[in-house]
């Protein structure tokens, strides 16, 4: 006889990760997994060597809960130089177990009942559960496709819709730049408009900048915390997972004003205690790599971006070329499927390629039922094989 326990209300309000569910489906059907954002590359050899050395030298016990001093110092130097946000390693840096934990720790540190959080959609799938777990009330603002006079398309928000989303209950707005799943890079003008609203309503900006080093076509990365009046009202979340191909190392960090940092550190402490000590030692080495490392990384990903865009277009997908990150959002209307989930399962089983149903990135699934996301962080031969398989889509429908 099984015992039935009543679950928490929070646990019933969201599902398991759709992205990781698609990975499991790909494994069952031996499909090429263009679903989960796991880099196909390895960390730089000098960084892995530093991790091994740290283990051998005995850095195998807890570090300071909020981060090893050498790693926090390297993060502060990077934030000051690259992001334009003057950062003190003792007062402003919290090392977390990945940027995912960093985002949740930040929300738990600031949210009270009735607080609202503005989120642009489509959004990274964790943000929905994060608001539920932290107790925030989400207010969604759509990123809409627009066409410029030269025929190019990009995603942006409607300024009136964004302004209407702010209220006396707004505690913060979440900004993901470059954006997952669209690859949108927020411009200085857009960030300044957001900053002005944050100042007007006395609220915070929480930014997820995990893809900050992956931007194409010479577009700059701008951190909203570097804008006038925003340093003291910005929480910047980032990490090493994507830029250094080490998603399994779980090295993230949160940058915030001192009063907010104290609260974030307390939440982090009781969530995870601390990130792996020897890997933090190696993380400091990663952050001191020269600019040429990131230049080579962007060149590699840009080649992948162009390759997959070409393959998808030839296969009949309508593509939205990304400005950053390593995802391509497509439109599958022309294939005639009832929704994106049906297409996702068909694509894995019949074509042997996996992607992510677009509806998982929206608060209202209907907005994403004709959308489908692919990732291009793959080796050349895998992307080439995926392209060949995708060419069968039109013939097998």
Q: What is 10-43+292-396's CATH number, 3.40.50.300, 3.90.1150.10, 3.50.50.60, 3.40.50.970?
A: 3.90.1150.10
Per DSSP, 324 falls in state B
CB 273 within 8 A of CB 94: no
Report DSSP letters for 189-251, one per residue: HHHHHHHHHHHHHT-EEEEE-TTTT-B-TTPPP--GGGSTT-GGGEEEEEESTTTTT-GGG--
pTM: 0.95
Q: Nearest Cα to 82, choosing from 180, 256, 225, 234?
A: 225
CATH class of 60-287: alpha beta
**In 310-357, which ranges are E strands?**
318-320, 327-331, 353-354, 356-357
Question: What is the reported pLDDT for 1?
Answer: 59
- Please state the domain extents for the chain: 10-43+292-396, 60-287
| pLDDT, block means (10 residues), the chain with 397 residues | 82 88 94 92 97 98 98 98 98 98 98 96 94 96 84 88 98 98 97 98 98 96 97 98 97 97 98 97 98 96 97 95 97 95 96 96 93 96 96 90
Strands 116-121 and 252-255: unpaired
The partner residues of 255 in beta bridges, in order of sequence, read 93, 236
Rounded to whole angstroms, how far apart are CA atoms 339 and 114? 34
What is the pLDDT, as a whole number, of residue 375?
97
């Amino acid at each position: 006889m099984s015992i039935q326990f009543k679950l928490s209300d929070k646990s019933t309000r969201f599902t398991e990760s759709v992205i990781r569910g698609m990975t499991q489906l790909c494994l069952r059907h031996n499909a090429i997994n263009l679903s989960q954002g796991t880099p196909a590359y390895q960390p730089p050899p000098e960084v892995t060597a530093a991790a091994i050395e740290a283990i051998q030298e005995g850095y195998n016990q807890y570090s300071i809960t909020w981060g090893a001093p050498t790693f926090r110092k390297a993060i502060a130097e990077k934030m000051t130089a690259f992001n334009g946000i003057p950062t003190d390693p003792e007062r402003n840096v919290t090392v977390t177990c990945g940027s995912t934990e960093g985002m949740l720790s930040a929300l738990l540190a600031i949210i009270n009942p009735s607080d609202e959080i503005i989120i642009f959609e489509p959004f990274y799938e964790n943000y929905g559960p994060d608001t539920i777990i932290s107790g925030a009330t989400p207010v969604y603002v759509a990123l809409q496709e627009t066409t410029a006079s030269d025929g190019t398309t990009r995603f942006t928000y409607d300024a009136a819709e964004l302004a209407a989303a702010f209220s006396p209950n707004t505690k913060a707005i979440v900004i993901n730049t470059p954006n997952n799943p669209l690859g949108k890079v927020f411009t200085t003008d857009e960030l300044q408009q957001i900053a002005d609203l944050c100042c007007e309503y006395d609220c915070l900006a929480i930014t997820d900048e995990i893809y900050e080093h992956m931007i194409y076509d010479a577009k700059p990365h701008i951190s909203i915390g570097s804008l006038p009046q925003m340093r003291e009202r910005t929480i910047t979340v980032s990490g090493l997972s994507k830029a250094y191909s080490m998603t399994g190392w779980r090295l993230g960090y949160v940058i915030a004003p001192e009063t907010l940092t104290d609260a974030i550190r307390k939440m982090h402490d009781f969530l995870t205690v601390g990130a792996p000590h020897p890997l933090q030692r190696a993380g400091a080495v990663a952050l001191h790599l020269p600019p040429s490392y990131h230049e080579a990384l962007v060149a590699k990903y840009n080649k992948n971006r162009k390759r997959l865009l070409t393959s998808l277009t030839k296969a009949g997908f309508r593509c939205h070329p990304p400005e950053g990150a390593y995802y391509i959002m497509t439109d599958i209307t022309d294939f005639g499927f009832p929704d994106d989930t049906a297409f996702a399962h068909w694509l894995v089983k019949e074509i042997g390629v996996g992607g992510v149903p677009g509806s998982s990135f929206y608060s209202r699934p209907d907005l994403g039922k004709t959308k489908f996301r692919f990732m291009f962080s793959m080796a050349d031969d895998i992307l080439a094989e995926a392209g060949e398989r995708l060419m069968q889509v039109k013939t097998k429908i």
